[in-house]
Each structure stands twice: as C-alpha cells, then as structure tokens.
C-alpha cells in the first residue's frame, strides 16, 4: 500500500509583472537566525484549514500560490523535465514545492541543534533561488521524527516571510489530505505556531510550539495524565502527556501521547505525537481502564498498563529519544491467575531492546518459578510513531 502523506500550504502571495525565468545559487555560508516580524495580517479559520492573509497583499489585489506535498515514494513530477530537483541531507523521501505565480528569496536551509542556546539555528544555505515563477521543485531528503535538520523559506514580492520545517511531526498519517495556510516564525522565534498535523477528529492537530502544556490541548480534549522530567539531558524539565476526549461516553476513543521538550526561553517544542501508543479506556476487561501510569525514568518515558479479570495481565513499555526520534527500548509483558498466585510470581517476559538481553520467568504446576536468561541479538528499534499498543503481532 502506498503511504503518501500530503501537506498543503496555501498562501496568499503576489503575482505582478511575472517573468518566466528563475536562477539557482548554492551557498555554504553560515546564516545567523532571525525573527520574522509579522504585521498587518488577517486570520481566518475553516474546517481542516488555517488561513493567514496579508492585508497588504489583499489591498494590492495581487496573489500567488505555493503548494507543498510530502511523499514516501517518488512523485510523478520527478519525470517532468521542467522540474528542478534538489538534493537534501539524506534521501528516501520527497518534498514537492509547486509555485504558481511569483515568489522571491527561496532558500533550502540546513538546521542544527545548538546545545548552548538549547534551540534550533540555521547552519547554512544548501540551495537558493532569487526568484521563482510557475516552477516545481522536488527535494530528495528524509522526514526526521525528532529534531529537524532542514527547512525551506521564501518571501512574497512585498517581503512577507514564510517557512516550512521539514519534519515528520509536521504531517498527518494515512491517505487524508492536510490543508493549511499558515505563516510560520523563524526557528529562533518563540511565538506559538499551530500545525495541521492531522485531519482526523480522533487525532486532532496540536501546536508545535507553546508556552505551557495547556496551550497544546485541542478543544474538546482533556489531560488524562502528564509528567515532567529531563528527557534530553539538558537539565530542563520536559513534558510527556496523555490526553483523551472529553465526551468519550463509551470509552472507545483513542488517546493521544505527545512529548514536549523545553527550550532555553522556557517555551516548549512538540517532538512526537501518536494516537496508537495508549490503550483505550474500554480495553482493560473486567478490571476497567487499563491505563496505569506514565512516568519519566532514567531519561526515558515509561508506560504501564494493567487489566483482565481472574487472569490478570500487565504491559510496560519504555521509550527513549535516539538520534532522530523516539524508539521502544524496553518491554515487560506478564500475566497471572489471581486464584493461585500474585503479580510478584507472574509469568513474565522482560526485554532490553538496546542490548538484546531478555529474561523469561515461568511458573510450573507446583508454583516454582523457572527463569531463563539469554541474548537474542540487537535488532532494529521500533519507532514510537509506528508502535501499536493493541497489536497482536510481535512488534519487537
């Protein structure tokens, strides 16, 4: 099945005195980050769309359009001889930028994480166009789950700035389109930015930047549980939170897990969001709601679930940030019969997915617990965004 994630940026820009030419320049100079000063704008919101329009552009009766789509497989525009093909920092996925009308100062920029400032900064310009008129660009790159390493930015003819951060958490999942018209601040800005990272009512969009946890909660949702702790070794309190719908009368709606990393200015940045990592309220059997706790333990996120009836079961999952995303690094699965034993003597499988070590405990008919320890070898880690807590398949 083709997995195509589509993000559309519909921007009201300028189309005056169009020329048919565009020029490409490559520059490796270091670029100092700047803040976009956004003024005189009019915001409108429709279902599935965030729109911000410049009053100056409206008054001048000029406009153009930029559409950005992301693909896991090659887009058909790659076969068009007029398409401009750029190389990003890696390969395997594609960003398609379609310009209708005229824009200027288009830049494809490399980003890096500044440990001292505890924020993203611009490292260098990978590619640059002075002007683009009715052009299609395809960037061969990848969509990181964690800290972004690339962005694109451009201006209207009147100088109004826009940018798009190339990252997995800027996108939704599945075949549904995500449409938003939005003016994003520069990477050094601290303003809150709302991103349409899902078109599903059960997995609503949440901001990518905010001042506090409350600012990340969608309308109609509430916090089920949250925890603070240092998740990226910068001594700042990050947040992991689980939210659920307020009107979940039959306990059947998905719950959302997301992780916020605190920046140096005390604001927060969204690093991951998933609707498949937390068990639903009706999945605990006779016991009831299976969600037990979420905690920060040794720099990782630990999820605990518990349920059943006479036969009880429990599941513990540990996730940690590794290079470019959040990954499952540990799992403990157990079960026991309440009529004859307790959780302390449960049948249990415990896996360290970083080292490959595992411990399996199983009680015999007499209640004696036999323990097996071994190493199964190091395997590819499962990304949190691909993790499905209710899957019956062996995911790791």
Rounded Cα–Cα distance for residues 85 and 73 (Å): 15
Residues of the chain with pLDDT under 70: 1-63, 168-201
pTM across the whole model: 0.54
Rounded Cα–Cα distance for residues 13 and 10 (Å): 9
Q: What is the pLDDT of residue 168?
A: 66
Which of 126, 49, 53 shows the shortest CA–CA distance to 89?
A: 126
Map out the domains of the chain as residue ranges. 7-180, 209-386
Contact 32, 137 (CB under 8 A): no
Q: What is the pLDDT of residue 164?
A: 85
CA within 13 Å, CB half, 72 = 12
Dihedral sign for Cα atoms in the order 381, 383, 384, 386: negative
Q: What is the pLDDT of residue 302?
A: 97
Q: Please give the radius of gyration of the chain, using alpha carbons only, rounded to the nearest integer.
A: 24
Beta-bridge partners for 369: 363
Rounded Cα–Cα distance for residues 5 and 259 (Å): 22
Q: What is the pLDDT of residue 45?
A: 28
Longest dimension (CA), the chain: 88
Q: What is the pLDDT of residue 17?
A: 35
């Amino acid at each position: 099945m083709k997995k195509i994630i589509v993000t559309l940026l519909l921007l009201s820009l300028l189309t005056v005195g169009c020329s048919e030419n565009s020029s490409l320049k490559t520059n490796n100079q270091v670029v100092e980050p700047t803040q976009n000063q956004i003024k005189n704008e009019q915001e409108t919101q429709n279902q599935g769309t965030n729109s911000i329009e410049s009053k100056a552009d409206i008054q001048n009766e000029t406009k153009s359009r930029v559409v950005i789509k992301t693909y896991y497989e090659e887009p058909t525009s790659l076969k068009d001889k007029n398409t401009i093909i750029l190389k990003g920092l890696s390969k395997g996925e594609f960003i398609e930028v379609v310009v209708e009308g005229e824009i200027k100062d288009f830049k494809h920029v490399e980003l890096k994480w500044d440990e001292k400032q505890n924020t993203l900064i611009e490292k260098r310009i990978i590619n640059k166009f002075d002007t683009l008129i009715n052009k299609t660009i395809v960037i061969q790159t990848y969509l990181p789950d964690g800290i972004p390493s690339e962005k694109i930015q451009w201006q209207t003819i009147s100088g109004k700035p826009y940018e798009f951060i190339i990252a997995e958490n800027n996108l939704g999942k599945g075949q549904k389109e995500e449409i938003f018209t939005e003016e994003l601040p520069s990477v050094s800005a601290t303003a809150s930015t709302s991103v349409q990272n899902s078109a599903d009512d059960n997995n609503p969009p949440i901001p990518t930047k905010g001042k506090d946890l409350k600012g990340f909660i969608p309308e109609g949702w509430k916090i089920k549980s949250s925890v603070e702790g240092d998740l990226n070794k910068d001594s700042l309190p990050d947040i992991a939170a689980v939210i659920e719908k307020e009107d979940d009368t039959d306990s059947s709606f998905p719950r959302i897990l997301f992780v916020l990393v605190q920046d140096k200015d005390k604001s927060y940045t969204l690093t991951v969001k998933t609707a498949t990592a937390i068990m639903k309220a009706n999945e605990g059997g006779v016991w009831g709601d299976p969600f037990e706790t979420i905690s920060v333990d040794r720099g990782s996120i630990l999820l605990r679930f518990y349920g059943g009836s006479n036969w009880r079961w429990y599941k513990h999952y540990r996730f940690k940030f590794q290079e470019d995303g959040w990954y499952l690094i540990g799992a403990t699965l157990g079960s026991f019969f309440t009529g004859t034993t307790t959780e302390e003597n449960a049948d249990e499988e415990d896996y360290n997915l970083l080292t490959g070590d595992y411990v399996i405990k199983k009680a015999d008919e007499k209640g004696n617990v036999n323990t097996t320890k071994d190493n199964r070898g190091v395997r590819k880690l499962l990304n949190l965004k691909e993790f499905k807590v209710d899957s019956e398949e062996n995911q790791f």
